Amino acid sequence: MRGTTLIFIDFEFSMPEGRGPKGFFPEIIEVGLISVKDFSDTDEFSSYVKPRVFKRLSRRCKSFLSISQEDVDGGITLAALVKRLAALNNQGNNKVITWGNMDMRVLRQNCERAGLPFPFSGEFVDLSMEYKRFFGDRNQTGLWKAVQEYGRDGVGKHHKALDDAQTTQHIYHLVEKDKRYLNRAEPTTIGDRIDLSKLQQLLVQ
């Protein structure tokens, strides 16, 4: 029987200068992922990705992500990325874990525009929503703020795809650990549920 593979994934996207050129849409320009099969066998992958349509990065994008045009020009193609993700998807029962829902939305949009099949067929977990529900927050929390709320530091550099994927994995394990701790809470005894002193008073009356 095929095991379970947890896939922690983060993409960085292109962004326009101002409103950008007509018809602009975000394209994946960097990927970082960690796959954990059967909760033990770990593999990491990181690469820049060449944008297909809007090939020149905006100054805003390069500055915000600390990325260069040469970085993405030397990256893999979107088709190669999708092929790699599909191969990973076929290895077992998958749970794809991201911080927020933008990663899968942009991947799906990029695939549709390129005429490529969406590579994932397993379960999807938006860890930011899990975190929000678990802690009862009114608003969604940013990735690195969330890990700092645990009294930890994020891994590496924010907005670096593999570092963000590693930070997502880190928070996932912290939340799962807290869930297990709460689920192991000992059941209450009858003494916890009934005030025995009041019961004694009733019996002697």
In order, the DSSP letters of 106-148 are: HHHHHHHHHT------SEEEEHHHHHHHHHT-SSPPPHHHHHH
Helix axes 161-183, 127-135, angle to 10 degrees: 40
Q: Is 12 annotated in the active site?
A: yes
> Amino acid identity of 68?
S
Q: Is 17 annotated in the active site?
A: no
Which of 81, 88, 86 is closest to 4 using CA atoms? 88
3-state helix, strand, coil in the chain (%, to 5): 45, 20, 35
Catalytic residue among 30, 70, 159, 170: 159
Q: DSSP assignment, residue 49? A: B
Catalytic residue among 12, 27, 30, 170: 12
Q: CA dihedral defined by 69, 53, 120, 105, rounded to 10 degrees?
A: 90
Q: Which stretches of 41-114 are DSSP H helices?
A: 59-65, 69-73, 78-89, 102-114
**C-alpha to C-alpha distances, 39 to 7, 10, 84, nearest whole angstrom:** 11, 19, 21
List, by residue number, the catalytic residues: 12, 159
